[in-house]
Amino acid sequence: MQQPGRAAEIKANGIGKSFGSFRALDDLTLDIGRGEFLTLLGPSGSGKTTFLMILAGFVQPSEGRLFSDGVDITDRPAEQRAAGMVFQGYALFPHMSVEQNIAFPLKVRKKSATEIKRRVGEMIERVGLNGHEKKLPAQLSGGQQQRVALARALVFEPGVLLLDEPFSALDKGLRGQMQAEMKRLHQETGTTFVFVTHDQSEALALSSRVAIFNHGKLLQVGRPDEVYDRPDNRFVAEFLGEINMLPVKGVKPADNGATGLCEDRAINMRCKAEKVRGDAILAIRPEHMSIAREATAGENGIAATAVASTYLGAATKLDLTTRQGAKVTVSVPNEVAAAALRKGNSVWLTWPAEKGFLLPDGGQ
């Protein structure tokens, strides 16, 4: 968070924070790479915002050290870290014009008037606020205020940009637009972005890596496809999207994967079974399952009955009950869903061996 114009590399080493008896963050160790777009994802109270505030220097960790480019910055006050920060609700200076808001961090750094004018001009251009320079924040729309907040946080070329749920106040259309804009700004500036959200689709769409938090603990960190397709535990699996849980018995390792019995049928799995043995849960995303007329030899499948459907336009969400009573949801083409419901009785539920992953039985 030191040299302007250069993306910072951040290392959190055993960071913990307690507020009285409440443990907000517990033993967090995490490396944030140079120029990375890392999303901190979790429900409210999971510790993600606390970690962001610790990164910004607004909250002092109870234990652990924080390094930026190898330098220990744990005890450095916020104004000397100067991470760019975009707050929930933007926190613009209400008494300053758009121009003055964006110029603020440069004025603090005692830049010359000509340099301030040039860089503020460039930034206004970059976020598309031309013609609004003299307006006060109260005269702007939500999306425009958001742009001012981004411009103000980026104008002094901070090593890291911290974003605290910046889109929570925007409507859906504007949200998509601002997400695209932020991705573009990330590419253009090359700065390290640390982004806090509780919206999993936003996290998957934007980030180069996602860190999932719950109850003050970092549960998993990885690329969006990694955490989505191979979650380490049930919470991560469920938080990132809808997922089916099927009990599997007698799990044991096999050639490049594992085997087991699902509803008394032998199934193959490509996922590793080193963490689980015996009884386990097979977790599969709805879009990875499909409906077939009948069983094909050597393919994973179980019998089920369609009970309800939800039309989603591009596809239909079909709710089924397996023979042994497990509830399953699949996302299938509309005509398949209609046919399955018409049939009224048993259909065949199949999935490829490489999809799905094993979780310990009943484990969290």
Site residues (vs another protein, CB under 8 A):
56-58, 77-85, 87-89, 91-95, 104-105, 108-109, 152-153, 156, 162
Tally DSSP H helices, then E strands, for the chain: 10, 20
Beta carbon nearer to another protein, 87 or 348: 87
Contact between 68 and 10 (Cβ < 8 Å):
yes
Nearer Cβ to another protein (156/239):
156
Give 14 or 77: the residue with its C-beta nearer to another protein. 77
User: Measuring CA to CA, which residue among 292, 280, 297, 299 is closest to residue 330?
Assistant: 292
CB of 210 to another protein, least distance (A): 24
Min. distance of Cβ 276 from another protein in angstroms?
45
As measured in angstroms, the least distance from the Cβ of 35 to another protein is 21
Choice between 57 and 356, CB closer to another protein: 57
Residue 81 or 355 having the CB closest to another protein: 81
For 54-113, strand residue ranges (E) read 63-68, 71-72, 84-86
Strand order in the sheet with 209-214: 84-86, 160-164, 192-197, 37-41, 209-214, 217-222
CA-to-CA distance for 86 and 195, rounded, in angstroms?
9
The DSSP bridge partners found for residue 63 are 16
Q: Which is nearer to another protein, 1 or 289 (CB)?
A: 1
| 3-state secondary structure at position 309 | strand
Q: Could you tell me the smallest distance in angstroms from the CB atom of residue 148 to another protein? A: 11
Please state the closest distance from residue 340 (CB atom) to another protein, in A.
51
Instruction: Tell the smallest beta-carbon distance from residue 58 to another protein (Å).
Output: 5
Q: What are phi and psi for residue 83, nearest 5 degrees? A: -85, 140
Least Cβ distance, residue 91 to another protein (angstroms): 4
Nearer to another protein, 89 or 247 (CB): 89
- CA-CA-CA-CA torsion for 286, 291, 297, 301, nearest 10 degrees? 40
